[in-house]
Structure 1
Amino acid sequence: MRQERAIRTRQTILEAAAELFDEFGYEGASTTDIITRCGLTRGALYHHFPSKESIAVALVDAQSEALKAPERDLGLQSLIDLTFEYARRLQADPILRAGVRLTVEQTSFRSPGSRPYRAAEDAVYRQLQLAAQKGELLPGLDIEETTEFIVGAFTGVQLVSHVYSKRRDLLERVSAMWRLVLPGLAVPGLLLRLRVTPP
């Protein structure tokens, strides 16, 4: 019972901090703001997180939870659907949005460096390897280079969508990304079998 309450309290803190970081950035949110938003005491906050930075680190690390590819018959379809699911969560989940903002922004929060991008690259690389084993990729395709390109392109699509529409058009932009990228990845006979719209 006590453990469940502790888990709920920790989640409440993360959600309140995520909303503030997403709205105001790391610099614009204080621990006092977080305490006020979540309705807890300072002692409760510091019991779970010793500092504002430790909350930010937890939010950045939470991004990896959104990187699980759904199971599909085609490895490339799993990868495509992973990006759609991530995009959907980014539209709705303040914890994921805050983690992305903290990763991208240059603030006094010590940068998480390439760690979040490495996690994304690992997820994409696994799916591309699976697609290669199933004969879905063009011969001679450099999987490592392709992985880095897809993560970079997807990151750019997210940022542009945020600037132009607060991510309202994110799914359409992800769909366009795949329509443009897939002919350079997939064997020709596979293109008609791949869905490039949200599942």
Structure 2
Amino acid sequence: MQVQAKRVRAETTRRFLLEAAAHLFDERGYAGTSISDISARSGRTSGAIYFHYASKENLALAVVEAHFAAWPKLIDQYRSAGLPALERLIGLSFAVARAFRDDVVIRAGSRLWAERKSIDVTLPRPFVGWIETVTELLEEAHREDEFAIGVTPEVAAQGLVSAFFGLHTVSDALEGRRRIEDGLHDLWLLLLPALQTDPDPASLLARVREREEDAAI
């Protein structure tokens, strides 16, 4: 019992420190954040931070790993939703957009990866998992006869992931991702006519948004 309690306390402390660091990494970047800053933000000593993470590099790595660890559970929700594949893909895209907007660990992990050349540690490789996930959903849409003939799922997935994360970069730079969902809606209106067998992007987006609103009630 005592061992388990200590383990829980240690994990709680690690998460607390990670989130404190994430706020600073998101606001100031890697180079602009020091262990002393994290100590002041968290109210814990520098010694406690080094005990749990050993270095600023390891703490940055932990934030990036937490960023990547957030996605599998979210992806699984949309893989098993029992809906047409394109609806699941669009729903997933909005869920990811909200996570980037609202979750400081997600935002910090993204910024740290962009600053990876200044961090002396090997970070996880991005985008590959997203390309695979989008390809799988587009292949399902193809089997459901919802996906346009002549469009290759693998090629379309590469383009969609590039467009999606490009939108995030622009939205972050211009308005701190506050209007990311509006931008994503407009992006889908632009892309869906090339992806759907019988293009009707407005109706498809309306169904997705209505379902999300009902789920939020």
Larger-Rg structure = 2
Aligned residues: 199
- Return closer, same or farther for 1:15/1:142 CA change in 2, 3 Å cut-off: same
| Alignment partners' CA distance in 2, 1:63 and 1:145 | 26
Residue 174 of structure 2 aligns with which residue?
164
Residue in structure 1 matched with residue 18 of structure 2 by the alignment = 14
- In structure 2, C-alpha distance between the alignment counterparts of 1:47 and 1:132, rounded to whole Å: 51
Contact 1:60–1:112 (CA<8 Å) still a contact in 2? Answer: no
Segments of structure 2 that go 5 or more residues without pairing to the other structure are 213-217
RMSD of equivalent CA atoms: 2.1
Structure 2: how far apart are the matches of 1:27 and 1:15? 17
Give the match for residue 45 of structure 2: 41
Q: Work out whether 1:174 is the aligned partner of 2:179.
A: no
Q: Could you tell me how far 1:112 is from its partner in structure 2? A: 5.6
The more displaced of 158-167 and 33-42 is 33-42
What TM-score, normalized to structure 2? 0.83
Per-residue deviation, residues 4-60 of structure 1 (Å, max 9, x unmatched) = 212211111111111001000010001111122112223322232121111212222
Equivalent position SS for 1:54: helix
Q: Which position in structure 2 is the counterpart of 1:52?
A: 56
6, 13, 25: which is aligned to 1:2? 6
CA contact (8 A) 2:16 2:42 kept: yes
SS at match of 2:30: coil
Give the fraction of aligned pairs with identical amino acids, expressed as a percent.
35
Cα distance change, pair 105–72 in 1 and its aligned pair in 2 (3 A): farther
Higher helix share: 2
Separation (CA, whole Å) in 2 of partners of 1:132 and 1:63: 30
Matched letter for residue 196 of structure 2: A
Q: Which consecutive unaligned segments of at least 5 residues does structure 1 have?
A: none
Q: 2:127 aligns to what SS in structure 1?
A: helix
**Which residue identity is paired with 1:66?**
W
TM-score by length of structure 1 reads: 0.89
CA contact (8 A) 1:103 1:111 kept: no
Task: Label 1:193 to 1:104 Cα distance change in 2 as closer, same or farther (>3 A).
Answer: same
